[in-house]
A and B are shown apart, each in its own frame.
Chain A
Amino acid sequence: MIDILVTVCVVISLIFSILGVIGLFRFPDFYTRIHAAGMVGSLGFLFMGAAVLIYAGGLLLSGDEAWLNYGAHVVLALMVVVITGTTATHAIARSAYRSGNMPIAKIDALNADEIKMKHREERK
């Protein structure tokens, strides 16, 4: 049971990390690459931590008390990386926007809506 849970968590983590790095290459824009990088930082990392925690919990249940200390350290590392990773991504995005890094596709929402409304009125 624990083996299956650990394997599933590791495979999900690997899938999210590989997809995030592929997206870091394939996306055309900085602001879309942030989306791919956030996948590695959130789900790829958290599922790996969950796999390590489940495996350490299995060893703890089998009678070794030293793995409780280990699990506490893993939880602390997860909290630190979740807090600092999101803040660092936000800081990079803010500095890129302030330094004039514009998105590649600028869509004026109001203009798009006006065109839609015009088509809708022509159909009537």
Chain B
Amino acid sequence: MDQEDHRMNDIFMIAAIIFVLLIFACGIRIWRGPTNADRMLALEVVNILVVTIMITLSLWFEQPVFIDVAIVYALLSFVGTLYVAKLIMGNLQ
């Protein structure tokens, strides 16, 4: 039973590693985005991938605290995204 659990958990670890590689790929788009809106869109994809990795790794490490960290990270990145959107539009005082 215990060994079977670890064998199933391996899928989540492989998925987390692939998501980290996708974050690096999004970093390339952030580096050479033509406009600022492209950079912010790639950064939002990175935020969602980070939340996904946190949920996945909380199952790998069997710690529910990671999900609370993921919820707070999602809310704070949402506020940051709204501020950068106002900055792109040019309405930031």
Contacts and interface: CB of A to CB of B under 8 A. Distances in A.
Interface of A: 3, 6-7, 10, 13-14, 17-18, 20-21, 24-25, 30, 33-34, 37, 40-41, 44-45, 48-49, 51-52, 55-56, 69-70, 73-74, 76-77, 80-81, 84-85, 87-89, 91-96, 98-99, 101
A100 B1 CA distance: 59
Contacts of B56: 48, 52
Contact of B71 (A3, A77, A87, A96): A77
Instruction: Give chain B's interface residue range (CB within 8 Å of chain A).
Output: 35 or more
Contacts of A87: 78
B21 to A, nearest CB: 9
B11 A6 contact: yes
A73 B64 contact: yes
5 contacts: A3-B8, A37-B42, A77-B71, A89-B41, A94-B85
A24 B64 contact: no
Given A30-B41, A77-B70, A85-B48, 15 more contacts: A7-B11, A37-B41, A40-B48, A41-B45, A48-B52, A48-B56, A52-B58, A70-B64, A73-B68, A77-B71, A77-B74, A91-B82, A94-B85, A96-B35, A99-B88
B41 A80 contact: no
B27 to A, nearest CB: 11
Nearest to B70: A77
A115 to B, nearest CB: 31
A88 B81 CA distance: 6
A88 B44 contact: yes
